[in-house]
Structure 1
Amino acid sequence: MSGTVTIGILALQGAFAEHQTRLQNLRLKRKITTVLVKTPEDLQRCDALIIPGGESTTIALLARLSGLLEPLKAFIYTKPVWGTCAGAILLSQSVTNAKKDGQELLGGVSVDIARNGWGSQVESFEAPLDVNGLHESSVPFIGIFIRAPVVLALAPDAPIQVIARLPPHLLPEPADDENDPRTIVALRQGLHLLTTFHPELTPDDRFHDYFARKCVFTTVPTV
């Protein structure tokens, strides 16, 4: 055994159980244990964290009521964190189209993001994605977009690695520029991973494998 790693999934609201299933199905050289994080004490047990899809304002409110908001902000400074869909919104430094009473953010990733970038749930869709760094990267990953946010801008000079884009013609307002930031659907900044879609809703576990290998294992020493 090369050392056990504990990955938490924020379990206040949203698709946290699906993330846990994907992690438990991984077969890697290092053992992964999972924790459903509902309290600051749960968070203290974790080497890394996934913030799932759901409703970003509800997750933020429940985090505050659970005494988790400030511990989460502190955790993000030093530990790997992956945000999917609503989790991506919470990891962003600013949000457009926030609800009228505002949107509390955790920060950590230097992007501006728009809530519900494609509109209502009836505008949900799937798309094959070419993703840099996945196992069998020649095989597209099927991205499931449900009331997905849209990346509007990257902070200048931020050390961001774009790892997946949508074709420009699939944008809510189609664009000619393939480098339009709105095409970005997966990116990394340091220890953090952000995806605007739901990898946990497919049987394909390659994104969870990627997070474990590229973001988590590199920061947790072996025993």
Structure 2
Amino acid sequence: MQSSTHREVVTVGILALQGAFVEHQATLQKVSLRRRIHIVQVRTPEDLAKCDALIIPGGESTTIALLARLAGLLAPLRDFVKTKPVWGTCAGAILLAQAAEGTKKGGQELLGGVSVTIMRNGFGSQVESFEAPLTVDGLRDSDRPFHGVFIRAPVVLSLDPSSNDPPIEVVSRLSASLLPHNQTTIPLDAGNTDPNDPRTIVALRQGRHLLTTFHPELTKDDRFHEYFIRQCVLPSLS
């Protein structure tokens, strides 16, 4: 049996309980690498056990958590996050966070894994969804902006790593001047925004995990999916 270092196939799961998992699969299928990517739609603990890495899609975070509990997946997901690469987009970013604010009555079950506090719907409601060009460090053709699609997007309120946690690397920020009418649940001053304000962070990495508050899967651009595989998944297999 070949060791993981020399495997030619990488198995990436997509949590397929609710949300944009089909769109993630379609984009992931376009990624061209030397190693073949095998995709598993994860609905059971048995599906999850087959995976080298996992993507948690956008959708409705409370619903995804509830369905995961009903499927017996919450505990396996929490264990998975401790040892393997996970990428959370929008709702998935909320689930990956260490703490969340603005949750529904009764709170929000989280998987943890990324040492941030995040606010649900931090950029506003569905009608305040917007799109914006993003500069992203580390992407292929990084001089070409990535088209960010923000739908009821969460906002990173704070970075909270402990001394034992991997460092947090900011991958992309959103200028407050790009917000439509600057109408957000958490107002950002377009004329005087601290460049280090955590609320401007829309993509970050911590160790093997990737968090994006927007929806890369809703574009035709596969560069973020390639980034996840190259920067988070493949190094974890060596």
- For normalisation by structure 2, the TM-score amounts to 0.90
> 2:62 is matched with which residue: 51, 57, 60?
57
Alignment pair present for 1:161 and 2:169: yes
Counterpart of 2:218?
201
Deviation at 1:178, TM superposition (A): 1.5
Give the Cα separation in 1 of the matches to 2:176 and 2:201. 10
Alignment pair present for 1:152 and 2:157: yes
> 1:117 is matched with which residue: 122, 125, 144?
122
> 2:188 is matched with which residue: 147, 152, 174?
174
| SS of corresponding position for 2:236 | coil
**Is the Cα–Cα contact under 8 Å of residues 127 and 142 in structure 1 kept in the other structure?**
yes
Identical positions, percent:
68
Alignment pair present for 1:15 and 2:20: yes
> 2:229 is matched with which residue: 197, 212, 217?
212
Deviation at 1:219, TM superposition (A): 1.3
Give the Cα separation in 2 of the matches to 1:114 and 1:218. 30
Give the Cα separation in 1 of the matches to 2:221 and 2:104. 33
Give the Cα separation in 1 of the matches to 2:158 and 2:209. 17
Give the Cα separation in 1 of the matches to 2:95 and 2:69. 13
* Aligned alpha-carbon RMSD (Å): 1.2
**Is the Cα–Cα contact under 8 Å of residues 92 and 105 in structure 1 kept in the other structure?**
yes
Paired letter, 1:147: R
Give the Cα separation in 1 of the matches to 2:29 and 2:91. 22
For residues 17-42 of structure 1, the C-alpha deviation after alignment (integer angstroms, 9 at most, x for no partner) is 00001111111111101000000000
Q: Structure 2: give runs of 5+ residues left out of the alignment.
A: 1-5
Counterpart of 1:88?
93
| SS of corresponding position for 1:59 | helix
| SS of corresponding position for 1:111 | strand
Counterpart of 2:102?
97
For residues 170-196 of structure 1, the C-alpha deviation after alignment (integer angstroms, 9 at most, x for no partner) is 362123212110000000000000000
**Is the Cα–Cα contact under 8 Å of residues 168 and 178 in structure 1 kept in the other structure?**
no
Alignment pair present for 1:184 and 2:184: no
Give the Cα separation in 1 of the matches to 2:224 and 2:232. 11
Q: Structure 1: give runs of 5+ residues left out of the alignment.
A: none
**Is the Cα–Cα contact under 8 Å of residues 2 and 29 in structure 1 kept in the other structure?**
no
Paired letter, 2:173: R
Deviation at 1:156, TM superposition (A): 4.7
Paired letter, 2:204: L
| SS of corresponding position for 1:82 | strand
Paired letter, 1:137: S
Counterpart of 1:129?
134
Give the Cα separation in 2 of the matches to 1:139 and 1:149. 24
